Structure 1
């Protein structure tokens, strides 16, 4: 997931950035004032999440939210709890008191993941009536030498990212470049068949041979490839719920 931090205390901003990166977030930028934040959101695509301090050097974050309609999930971070009620008027996901407790941050991220997975299955009746709602993608055209090769989703072991490129690995362990990000693939693939286990891999349930719980700390998947598949700790519960269906 992507994130933006709005925080005018540099040590607090740096600590939060390190925490988020360790939780597999991509932190796009850190903003330090109301003015800079408004300008940035006008000129850039909105991230999945915004972690925003309430009191900033040139005002408070509600001035930003009154001028910009954020398409992101909003998480307020502050040392003051008297703003909690007002914060929830802006459809925030949660409210974290500083200094941020890592265990509470983990619970928040699990909550965000749960919301995100649920939203992926929603569609509007307007889209349905217009016949332009998003359809599940069940095959891919890839380059194989000078030819184009069609690969069905049932024949794909996994998708993975490497050196800023995305690849699919088929059932005979051949890799092909796919011109889409893992984020985009998550939206298009059959959610009953595919699951993103971490920042690098989306795997196909059909090829999972075993699920190993290593010392009660990490979950490994046994699949006949040269890759090691380790499920992100924050996705273990969602993965197990998906896998047992």
Structure 2
């Protein structure tokens, strides 16, 4: 099975490639692209892969733009830190939607689902897309519903246990190790493909996690991912300004080095998070 990975965070792409090799040793990652532009060019010039693992938020836009610019016939498994795109994902060639950080059991289940669908549609179980995959996309989605029935909503009498959100981070500074409590953190930010936390007393410390991984570790009542570069704690939001085209401009405390913009698509969610 030839797999293309579309992911703009280098560390996440490397981890995903390693995970693919662990889950499916016979699979071959034939390419890694990090933007809409690069992905479109790769798909135009290379044979169609058997499967695409595709992040949604890329450096130059959402990966849905790829489908508007080029005909994609390969099945797609979306990998993303956001769950609000699930319905939109299944309107294209998606067979599954995995939230980051991607777990081994989730990827294994998604690949097994792909094989089951190919068999149900009369295609090969492994290696090479089913010959009638594109023409049978509607049937493929029906098979998806059959293979993975919708989960029943939780009973009011049996609520979910509280999520184990992080309350501290271990920092390495040379030969020194020390802990920074979550109450000391003003925000997390990305710079030069590395992740840092900014403390309220204006110290920057590198953390060994991607922004996607951090977003999954933090209490969403306290932290909000403003954009791909910033995850802010509620008390660090100093001022919110209306910006053009429905966007918001955020002033943080301590001040961020670069302008902080919340996209039009996320502005309503952000305002609700603030208490609107």
TM-score (norm 1): 0.54
Superposition map of 1:1-245 within 5 A: 10=44, 21=58, 22-25=60-63, 47-48=79-80, 51-52=92-93, 66-67=117-118, 87=141, 90-91=144-145, 135-215=164-244, 217-224=246-253, 225=255, 226-244=257-275
Gaps of at least 5 residues in structure 1 are 55-61, 69-78, 92-124
Q: Residue in 2 aligned with 1:114?
A: none
Q: Distance in 2 between matches of 1:215 and 1:31?
A: 33
Residue 10 of structure 1: CA displacement?
Answer: 4.5
Q: Deviations over 1:5-62 (max 9, x none)?
A: 999x959x9xxx9x9744355999x99655xx5xxx8xxx8624574299xxxxxxx9
Distance 1:135 1:215, change over 3 A: same
Q: How many Å apart are 1:181 and its aligned residue?
A: 1.0
* Conservation of the 8 A alpha-carbon contact between 2:165 and 2:218: yes
Secondary structure in 2 matching 1:47: strand
d(CA) in 2 for partners of 1:173, 1:153? 14
SS where residue 209 of structure 1 aligns? Answer: strand
In 2, are the aligned partners of 1:138 and 1:190 still within 8 Å (CA)? no
The answer to whether the 8 A contact 2:117-2:144 is kept is no
Give the length in aligned residue pairs.
176
CA displacement at 1:216 relative to structure 2: 5.2
- Superposed CA RMSD: 4.8
Assess, with a 3 A threshold, how the Cα gap between structure 1 residues 20 and 230 changes in structure 2: closer, same or farther: closer
Structure 1 residue 218: deviation in Å? 2.0
* Structure 2: segments with no counterpart, 5+ residues: 1-5, 9-32, 49-53, 81-88, 96-112, 120-133, 146-157
Quote the residue 2:154 is aligned against. none
TM score, norm. by length of structure 2 = 0.49
Deviation at 1:215, TM superposition (A): 3.7
Task: Spell out, residue by residue over 1:92-117, the C-alpha distance to the aligned partner (whole angstroms, 9 max, x if none).
Answer: xxxxxxxxxxxxxxxxxxxxxxxxxx
Structure 1: how far apart are the matches of 2:193 and 2:65? Answer: 16
